[in-house]
Chains A and B, each alone.
Chain A
């Protein structure tokens, strides 16, 4: 299975702190994507990182990919209360159908 597994399952931090979430997977991938989901809502695409890329940035988000360790991390810098959500990684192999992990529930306290 290519299912990503996020770690930690839950993360609680104070506003202004950085939040780091990790994702591990089992087989080779073409790309890995991070999504955000607010409670009871659909998914919002954050970043796509391809297998030949090691790091990508988007605003306060930084994603790394280590294909040798089959892992990725999502760093949110200077977190805000509005960042409170669940974050999922999704891995894609040859079919371009993403397989989702269980997600990390992030709570940012104001």
Chain B
């Protein structure tokens, strides 16, 4: 089946620094990638939708200047958490949709801890 990877799988950073998370579709081209955030024992909340070559669409309440998304190719999207704060600590999951667009394939997630 389709495989989506994320890197890193976990990261600890100091408050005020920026962290970049990569999401790659390994064996298919992903026209659309999605970024989710999940707090402990909570559901996945969609942060933004990114389409290759265009600006990401952010969900209401998500700061686009804080969560920078770049979808430079059909196999790579990046999420950069700028000036991270402890409240940004969360589990970030990406997913990618193939050309058919119906089914999404999820990455393994990235655990971000901001100290």
Contacts and interface: CB of A to CB of B under 8 A. Distances in A.
Interface of A: 3, 31, 33, 35, 40-45, 48, 88, 96-103, 105
B105 to A, nearest CB: 7
Contact of A31 (B102, B105, B111): B102
Contacts of A101: 43
A100 B44 contact: yes
Contacts of A44: 106
30 contacts: A3-B43, A31-B102, A33-B103, A35-B106, A40-B91, A41-B108, A42-B6, A42-B107, A42-B109, A43-B93, A43-B95, A43-B106, A44-B106, A45-B103, A45-B104, A45-B106, A48-B102, A48-B103, A88-B44, A96-B101, A97-B34, A97-B46, A99-B46, A100-B36, A100-B44, A101-B43, A102-B42, A102-B43, A103-B43, A105-B41
Interface of B: 6, 34, 36, 41-46, 49, 91, 93, 95, 97, 101-109, 111
Contacts, number: 45
Contacts of A100: 36, 43-45
Contact of B93 (A31, A33, A42): A42
Nearest to B2: A45
B49 A97 contact: yes
A42 B46 CA distance: 14
A97 B91 CA distance: 19
Nearest to B103: A48
B23 to A, nearest CB: 11
B104 A98 contact: yes
Nearest to B109: A42
Nearest to A3: B43
Given A97-B49, A98-B104, A88 B43 contact: yes
Contacts of A40: 91, 109, 111
